[in-house]
Structure 1
Amino acid sequence: MNRLKKFLGGLYATYILLLFSATVIILFIPLYATWLFKEPYRNRIFVTIGRGWMAVFMPLIGCPMRRKGLENFKAGQTYVLTCNHNSFMDILVATSSIPGSNKTLAKKSMGNIPVFGPIYRLGAILVNRKDEDSRKQSYIRMKEALHQGIHILLYPEGTRNRTDKPIKPFYDGAFSLAIDTQLPLLPSVLFHTRNILPAGGFYAWPHAVEYHFLPPIDTKGMTRDDIPALKERVFNIMLAHYVAHEKTPPTSR
């Protein structure tokens, strides 16, 4: 990377950070006020506000969002979604793009950030992955959210993909959850968030974002013995879709 682009990328990252901070402050009261409501209404209001927030924020930073495959969501059906994970931008984009109420699983430490932390806790079920009891409680909370009609979005790679591979190997969590609840699993694929905010260093660059929702997979009748096969099937579906569409021009729907 030449020095000029690195300098401009640093300025752009500063712009994103300042604008994000300003919008968090502006929306803090209405977002925090959603704590007055019980679930699932709390999440429904939160996601609605967040969707409007990102509809303004993303174009302002030169990163319009485009979705494809919304027809794969059936009205009244709750899903466990899987998504690839490349950037801190992923949660902002995915939460605001998924139709209907949704939550994700996230690191507990993120909930301790001043101002942003309480808002983060609204859209996520927090877990300390090093604490077995915390992992068990988060799993129970995810099942409760699904029972309330709230989609659960999980990143089966576990952490951001810092490798040169399109998608990292998957953990079992998302597939266990879908099978245990007998709910359909809906693969989804995010494109270009790594171009905007790559891991490592204070650097960013504008780029359009695409989020593709793929046909759901029915898990009725499956048991935990089917986890390895289901995990491999979803991995292959997401990998093939990512490779096939990564370099294509953005499309809108």
Structure 2
Amino acid sequence: MRKIYAVYALILFVSSMLIMLIPMWLVSLLPAPLNIRCFMWLGRAWMHVYMPLVFCPVHTKGRQYFKKGQPYIIVCNHNSYVDIPATTYAIPGASKSLAKQELARIPVWSIMYKVGSVLVNRDDPESRKRSFTEMKEVLNMGVHMLLYPEGTRNKTDDPLKSFYDGAFILAIETQKPIMPTVLFNTRKILSAGKSFGARPHRIDVHFLPPVETAGMTQDDIPALKEHVFKTMWEYIEKSRSV
């Protein structure tokens, strides 16, 4: 049944993606940041149709923390490939994420990743530097940056893996607030390391109160990272016990 469901979800994803491809290509030709805003509106509308059709309803909590006109660095846990459609569904307004540069070389996918992501080659120091500059430009345009500070999917039994510094350096250098965000149940749908298959499940996306960085300096990076890590870890643990 897991394989049958996975085939159904995959076929529906590919067919709906082909429908969305032309309008997404058209909006990609618009100037920034209008292209990002229109692109994410289309992506969100797509996911609002697709996720219920694959029996994975997305429920959000804490959207009231987003202030109009304020871009946030959205720091999110990472458990599954399903995290991407779930956050596309849930995040209000325009946003970009950080993605591997090689993904933009894949036909069809290239349109989505070039507009919806800041691309980086993690093995290239110059590419990492350029991506950091681009993320600052994204925030200055009033667009959110979605970052997964664990770096890769969490395959452990712990609520979180240790965080990298990048999101917190970006927050302090731009003086933008961090929006801690916790995803629940995406691993239950599609787990890393298992054979081909998936199963439907409700997804919860909880936005936590933002953490202000105004007035912070580089010396505050370790404390800021620890504070956000502890906030998210404790929230996940508390939710598990409910």
Normalising by the smaller structure, the TM-score range is over 0.9
Is the Cα–Cα contact under 8 Å of residues 47 and 96 in structure 1 kept in the other structure? no
1:238 match: 232
CA distance in 2, matches of 1:244, 1:131: 39
What is the TM-score when the length of structure 2 is the normalising length?
0.97
1:97 equivalent to 2:90? Answer yes
Deviation at 1:215, TM superposition (A): 0.5
2:81 match: 88
Between the aligned residues of both structures, percent identity stands at: 51
Deviates further, 112-121 or 235-244: 112-121
Q: How many pairs does the alignment contain?
A: 241
List gaps (5 residues or longer) in structure 2: none
Partner of residue 217 from structure 1, selected from 211, 219, 222: 211
Is the Cα–Cα contact under 8 Å of residues 62 and 206 in structure 1 kept in the other structure? yes
Deviation at 1:96, TM superposition (A): 2.8
Amino acid at match of 1:222: M
Provide Cα deviations, 1:107-145, integer angstroms capped at 9, x if missing partner: 112222221222122211111111101100100000000
2:72 match: 79
CA distance in 1, matches of 2:162, 2:172: 19
CA distance in 2, matches of 1:122, 1:227: 29
1:3 match: none
Is the Cα–Cα contact under 8 Å of residues 180 and 232 in structure 2 kept in the other structure? yes
List gaps (5 residues or longer) in structure 1: 1-7, 249-253
Provide Cα deviations, 1:131-184, integer angstroms capped at 9, x if missing partner: 101100100000000000000010000001111211100000000000000011
CA distance in 2, matches of 1:30, 1:97: 21
Deviation at 1:32, TM superposition (A): 1.0
1:159 equivalent to 2:152? Answer yes
2:140 match: 147
Is the Cα–Cα contact under 8 Å of residues 24 and 111 in structure 2 kept in the other structure? no
1:134 match: 127
CA distance in 2, matches of 1:10, 1:96: 24
Partner of residue 170 from structure 1, selected from 163, 171, 179: 163
Deviation at 1:246, TM superposition (A): 3.6
Deviation at 1:39, TM superposition (A): 0.9
Deviation at 1:95, TM superposition (A): 2.4
Is the Cα–Cα contact under 8 Å of residues 54 and 96 in structure 1 kept in the other structure? yes
1:111 match: 104
- Against the structure 1 CA distance between its residues 52 and 246, is the aligned structure 2 distance closer, same or farther, given a 3 Å change threshold? farther
Secondary structure of the residue aligned to 2:210 is coil
2:190 match: 197
Is the Cα–Cα contact under 8 Å of residues 9 and 205 in structure 1 kept in the other structure? yes
Secondary structure of the residue aligned to 1:126 is strand
Provide Cα deviations, 1:34-87, integer angstroms capped at 9, x if missing partner: 121011100110111111100010000000001000111112211111000001
1:4 match: none
Is the Cα–Cα contact under 8 Å of residues 176 and 224 in structure 1 kept in the other structure? yes
CA RMSD across the alignment: 1.0
Amino acid at match of 1:244: K
1:37 equivalent to 2:30? Answer yes
Is the Cα–Cα contact under 8 Å of residues 24 and 116 in structure 1 kept in the other structure? no
Provide Cα deviations, 1:79-100, integer angstroms capped at 9, x if missing partner: 1110000011111211231111
1:67 equivalent to 2:60? Answer yes
